Amino acid sequence: MEIFPGLTIDFSFWGWFMSLGVPEMAVVLFAVIGWVVLILFFVKALAELWVKYREDTKYIPHWEWVVLAVDIPPLFIQTPKAVEQIFAHLSGAVPHISLFDKFWLGKKQKWFSFEIVSIEGYIQFLVRTEVEYRDLIEAAIYAQYTEAEITEVEDYIDAIPSRYPNAEYDMIGVEFKLADDDAYPIRTYENFEYNLSKDAVFSDPMAAILENFTRLGHGENLWMQLIIEPTNGGWKEKGIDLVKKLMGNETHHSESIAAKFASIPMAIMTELGNVWHWNFEPSEGHEEDRGTTADKLTPGAKKTVEAIEDKISKIGFKTKMRVLYAARKEVFHPNRCIDGFVGSLSQFHMQNRNSIVPYMNTHASYDRHHTKSYRMQNTFVKTFKKRKMRWKKSNGYILNIEELATIWHFPLPFVKTPLLQKAGYKRAEPPTGLPVEWSETPLRRKGMASAHHEPAPMALPIESDATQEEGVPPENLLFG
């Protein structure tokens, strides 16, 4: 086609191309542009490997981690809304990372690990963070729990072996994921209120979770990690697209590959017509029904749309949740706590919403004495001890601050959990030379262990008989 003297456009290729069948079109496209796609794929893969190499060798090795034990006074009443605000506080820990920082310095986003551990039935809430954000963690907690006690303790993770099979210990690990798209929310704490009378009653979901941590005896350990990493708001686009789809604002018919390429010549002609003022009008296609309107949605669908919109309206974190049970072989009984823990997560499921489900089990589909099972155990323990976000093919999922506070929060006073460490009274300096008595606990304060002495336990002193004889008022004692 000659547009003007000296300029000719030949559309014969497109005519021949459109005369081919779909399989032949695919072969031609691969021959013409397939090599470009392959090059882009390999460049992307090499870039990711390079970034991972720089992170592991230049940046992450310099991190210094601290483990903080958080104790809340037993009569301090706060709803999970307070923990939701703690997570919101942490969303500010997002550094600016330039291309130079990422590809040369290996700089990456730091993460936090909110944990619940039961060591032989002794339960403790912990937060593991990089030392840079310790002040941020403490400020966020004290802002909501003014009477809280935060103590740096030694990492408990080395209490179990790192390699299996082991002569003394056995372990099982389970990792969890969302059953549906990230945009769908789970059941949150606001849905755990019910009415027995004119007053609303809150059924704390933490009660069902902690019950499994109390069923341990001597030589048993049950540890849970909720790893979170601040992220930008790009994840909300998926929620917006999902809402549009459910509302019927998205085209429901799909175009084939052939149809998409068939539109290329027409698009070229249309653009040339706009430039050269041709009197060219493309044929008007039939506009199909674009779906239902909001008025035609069922009540359940409306509630689902509202729940999705509510989720994307709040701050989100990239999240990974996992649990590990390890015990001496003579007392190794994972079914009595692991099955119950998995079952306790079912309370967060709602119809047409989302749920937390196990997707990776170190013993799943394998004989416990199979080599592949041991390899999975070793990989899981290594990942668990380093609190890595990524394991196998899963790189985390998005939970907002309300969902996180539902899964991990300090139990309300009516949750009667034996051996749950709680703060006593506000700290005060004791009189000089006051005799004290210590009770044994599994966790040690950081820096109190000695190579030549018995480690000082973490529990704080209680009143002794000598104190009463000396007439020291109880309010001047140091509680913890």
Domain boundaries, the chain: 1-62, 65-238+299-407, 425-480
Which candidate, 357, 406, 340, 339, places its Cα nearest to that of 187?
A: 406
Give pLDDT, residue 286: 45
Q: Over 70: is that where the pLDDT of 24 sits?
A: yes
> Among 23-32, 125-134, 215-224, 438-447, which stretch is predicted with the lowest mean pLDDT?
438-447
Give 4 or 214, the one with higher predicted confidence. Answer: 214
Average pLDDT over residues 396-417: 87
**Average pLDDT rounded to a whole number, residues 434-447:** 63
pLDDT of res. 170 = 94
CB 215 within 8 A of CB 327: no
More confident residue, 423 or 83: 83
- 426 pLDDT higher than 60: no
Give the mean model confidence (pLDDT) for residues 453-478.
Answer: 41
Query: Structure tokens of 103?
Result: 């590809």
pLDDT tens digits, 342-399: 999 999 998 889 999 998 888 754 455 566 788 889 999 999 999 998 876 678 999 9
Tell me the pTM. Answer: 0.74
Give the mean model confidence (pLDDT) for residues 37-65: 89
Q: Write the single-letter amino acid at 426.
A: K
Least confidently predicted of 130-144, 158-172, 261-275, 335-349: 261-275
Give the pair of three-digit tokens for residue 186.
Answer: 């789970």
pLDDT at 470: 43
Q: Flag whether pLDDT at 288 surpasses 50.
A: no
Region 101-121: mean pLDDT is 93
Which of the residue ranges 166-175, 284-293, 395-404 would you say has the lowest mean pLDDT?
Answer: 284-293
Give the other-Cβ count within 10 Å of 101's Cβ: 15
| 415 vs 409 pLDDT, higher one | 409
> What values do phi and psi take at 359, rounded to 5?
-130, -10
Other CB atoms closer than 10 Å to residue 154's CB: what's the count? Answer: 17
pLDDT grade for 260, boundaries at 50, 70 and 90: low
Q: How confident is the model at residue 252 (pLDDT cuts 50, 70, 90)?
A: very low
Q: Where are the beta strands (DSSP E) in 213-355?
A: 220-230, 316-328
Average pLDDT score over the chain: 79
CB 394 within 8 A of CB 320: yes
pLDDT category, 150, cuts 50, 70, 90?
A: very high
463 forms beta bridges with none
Percent of the chain predicted with pLDDT > 90: 45
312 pLDDT above the threshold of 80: yes
Res 456 pLDDT > 60:
no
Q: How far is it between the farthest Cα atoms of the chain? A: 114
Confidence of residue 29 (pLDDT cuts 50, 70, 90): confident
* CA distance linking residue 42 with residue 393, whole number of Å: 19
pLDDT for position 429: 54
Average pLDDT over residues 453-469: 41
User: Residue 226, by phi and psi: left (phi above 0), alpha (psi -120 to 50) or beta?
Assistant: beta
Residue 342, judged by CB atoms within 10 A of its CB (0-12, 13-18, 19+), counts as middle
